[in-house]
């Protein structure tokens, strides 16, 4: 079969188009099943693309990583049948065959790297020497699998292709230039590129932004999809598809080309004609090296961050936004807390999944009118990538420089088929996405500081700490903890400080309990909070004034115990009792913070 490396020395490599949208599978039947149920049909599609001029074909096995992760019976047989059909077709023209692996789910129980490795080894055993990992939105576990391939097949050619939106981000919020750079720096990936999601014009723009010494690949969709009652159609014309990609090849930007969703043999034939008009060269000139010059740092600290980074103990205080459209009372409360000595106002994003005024809009209003630093909570719930990005850009423009990234509570509903939650990524991926928006040539001139949640009351705190480390690795700078209302929570805070290090900023959560009923409710109905029995018992028979006084006393004791291991305090306002929190801040400054 064809030697990919030798071919790329003289001319571009042309892949086939999209088996999944061209092969007419029965409704509800996965295209890959046809390897066993309709081998003649799959073989015919391969031959059509090769007759159109493709140099390489992909095995009809895109969904195998997902099937393998789910332990679907027979996925090995689908791999074998798909491989044999592609090889049979390719032998007739001498084309190359690539083992095709789509995205694998990445879970703690079955990591993506484990899945990719199992499927890739299956193909290697069948004789595969070329591998395509395509339509990826993340590189989780990918390099582990590539390393395993190279160990078994040292001369293997591995192409990795990411699916990105026209703005350059994957659906998991990863930036294409960062992903390409990691593939470049790995030393084991042979080519990198983009496929799917974007149409030819948008992908051409994206490809021109990518640099590196690795061969670059582009395989766009035929166009953007049109959804009819029964199917999804792509109406992009072959002539336009070929012209846009031909320009990239002529400029020397890309060395590997092909098609994804909606591309037919007609698209590949048109592109073949464009490529055949290019002059033959001895060697494709390498693209510009990735820059190793450090990007200029933008001074981006506000008053809260300057104080925190200077080592001073800070006070952040949470005040839930109103349930109505009237902000008058809220702004008055925020102003009182600011005067009492709060350094930062945090605003929850519809806590307990109950609608309130948008936390980001409230944060902008408070910052604009009071000059108080704000930390809006941003959940992964109910916002897709576009909505999240739009909100972040607005926050930055309004001068908000901190955000708390959390997964968020799911919306409770009995109508599960009618009300759907949107969870496009978790808090770790959200943090990575927020951080990636800043930098030279990107949407934000300077970075936003991302905080996360740390549950000191987690039953398996070692797991919670492991996740906290992952959050730091993904760009978070620190944590706001759940309320400290037990000796165990203090011990876990101490352990956190030792494990996460001094660079991770930790604000210890303090929430005054105000009554026995309040304590019982928090213990039983609020996730992540543990109130010890002795605290619950102490509130028996107390009226409101007595309850508040006892709540203040306990909060002061918890703050004293927590502060040696924290960079500040995160105060949570119960029932919007601003006057109570004014008293708490005053006593903290007088009785606790003075020691620091």
Which residues are annotated as part of the binding site? 196, 260-261
- Report how far residue 115's alpha carbon sits from residue 68's, in angstroms, rounded to the nearest whole number: 7
Q: What SS3 state is found at 554?
A: helix
What residue numbers does the annotated binding site for Zn(2+) cover? 196, 260-261
- Report how far residue 214's alpha carbon sits from residue 286's, in angstroms, rounded to the nearest whole number: 7
Which residue stretches of 153-211 are H helix? 176-186, 200-207
Which 3-state string (H, E, C) describes 382-403? CECHHHHHHHHHHHHHCCCCEE
Distance of CA 154 to the CA centre of its chain: 32
Residue given tokens 């073949």 in the structure block: 272
Strands of 277-326, DSSP E: 314-318
Q: What SS3 state is found at 580?
A: helix
- Report how far residue 342's alpha carbon sits from residue 74's, in angstroms, rounded to the nearest whole number: 61
Strands of 398-486, DSSP E: 402-406, 449-454, 478-483
Residue of 471, 491, 473 lying closest to 404 (CA atoms):
471
- Report how far residue 553's alpha carbon sits from residue 489's, in angstroms, rounded to the nearest whole number: 17
Which 3-state string (H, E, C) describes 529-571? CCCCHHHHHHCCCCCHHHHHHHHHHHHHHHHHHHHHHCCEEEE
Q: Give whole-number Cα distances, 44 to 37, 265, 273, in Å.
A: 14, 11, 22
- Report how far residue 224's alpha carbon sits from residue 30's, in angstroms, rounded to the nearest whole number: 22
Token code pair at residue 150? 């190279």
Angle CA 341–343–348, to nearest 5: 115
Q: Do residues 172 and 429 lie in contact, with contact meaning Cβ atoms separated by under 8 Å?
A: yes
Residue given tokens 């409770």 in the structure block: 412
């Amino acid at each position: 079969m064809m030697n990919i490396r030798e071919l790329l020395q003289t001319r571009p490599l042309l892949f086939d188009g999209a088996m999944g949208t061209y092969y007419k599978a029965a409704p509800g039947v996965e295209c890959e099943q046809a390897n066993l149920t309709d081998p003649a049909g799959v073989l015919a599609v391969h031959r059509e693309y090769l007759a159109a001029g493709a140099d390489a074909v992909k095995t009809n096995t895109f969904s195998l990583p997902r099937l393998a992760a789910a332990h679907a019976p027979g996925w090995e047989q689908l791999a074998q049948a798909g491989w044999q059909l592609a090889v049979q077709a390719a032998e007739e023209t001498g084309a190359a065959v690539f083992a095709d692996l789509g995205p694998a789910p990445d879970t703690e129980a079955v990591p993506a790297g484990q899945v990719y490795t199992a499927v890739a080894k299956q193909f290697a055993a069948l004789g595969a020497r070329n591998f395509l990992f395509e339509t990826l939105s993340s590189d989780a576990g990918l390099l582990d699998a590539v390393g395993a391939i190279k160990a078994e097949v040292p001369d293997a050619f591995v192409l990795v292709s990411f699916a990105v939106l026209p703005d350059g981000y994957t659906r998991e919020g990863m930036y294409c230039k960062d992903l390409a750079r990691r593939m470049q720096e790995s030393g084991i990936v042979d080519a990198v590129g983009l496929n799917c999601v974007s149409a030819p014009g948008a992908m051409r723009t994206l490809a021109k932004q990518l640099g590196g010494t690795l061969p670059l690949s582009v395989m766009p969709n035929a166009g953007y999809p049109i959804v009819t009652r029964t199917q999804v159609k792509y109406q992009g014309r072959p002539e336009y598809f070929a012209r846009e990609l031909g320009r990239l090849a002529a400029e020397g930007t890309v060395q590997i080309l092909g098609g994804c969703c909606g591309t037919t043999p007609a698209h590949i034939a048109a592109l073949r004609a464009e490529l055949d008009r290019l002059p033959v060269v001895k060697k494709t000139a390498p693209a510009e090296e990735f820059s190793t010059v450090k990007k200029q740092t933008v001074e981006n600290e506000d008053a809260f961050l300057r104080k925190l980074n200077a080592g001073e103990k800070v006070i952040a205080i949470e005040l839930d936004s109103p349930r109505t459209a009237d902000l008058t009372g809220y702004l008055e409360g925020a102003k009182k807390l600011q005067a009492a000595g709060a350094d930062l106002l945090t605003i929850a994003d519809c806590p307990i999944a109950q609608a309130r005024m948008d936390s980001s809009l409230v944060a902008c209003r408070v910052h604009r009118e009071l000059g108080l630093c704000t930390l809006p909570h941003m959940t992964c719930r109910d916002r897709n990538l576009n909505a999240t990005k739009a909100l972040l850009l607005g926050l930055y423009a309004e001068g908000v420089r901190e955000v708390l990234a959390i997964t968020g509570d799911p919306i409770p509903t009995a109508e599960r088929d009618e009300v759907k939650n949107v969870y496009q990524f978790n808090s770790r991926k959200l943090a990575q996405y927020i951080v990636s928006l800043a930098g030279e040539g990107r949407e934000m001139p300077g970075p936003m500081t991302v905080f996360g949640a740390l549950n000191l009351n987690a039953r398996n705190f070692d797991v919670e700490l492991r996740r906290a480390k992952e959050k730091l690795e993904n760009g978070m700078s620190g944590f706001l903890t759940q309320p400290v209302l037990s000796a165990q929570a203090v011990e876990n805070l101490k352990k956190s400080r030792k494990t996460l290090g001094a660079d991770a900023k930790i604000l210890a959560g303090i929430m005054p309990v105000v009554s026995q009923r309040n304590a019982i409710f928090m213990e039983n109905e609020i996730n992540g909070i543990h109130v010890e029995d002795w605290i619950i018992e102490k509130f028996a028979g107390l009226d409101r004034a007595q309850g508040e006084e006892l709540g203040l006393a306990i909060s002061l004791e918890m703050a004293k115990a927590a502060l040696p291991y924290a960079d500040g305090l995160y105060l949570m306002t119960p029932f919007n009792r601003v006057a109570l929190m004014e008293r708490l801040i005053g006593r903290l400054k007088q009785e606790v913070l003075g020691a620091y």
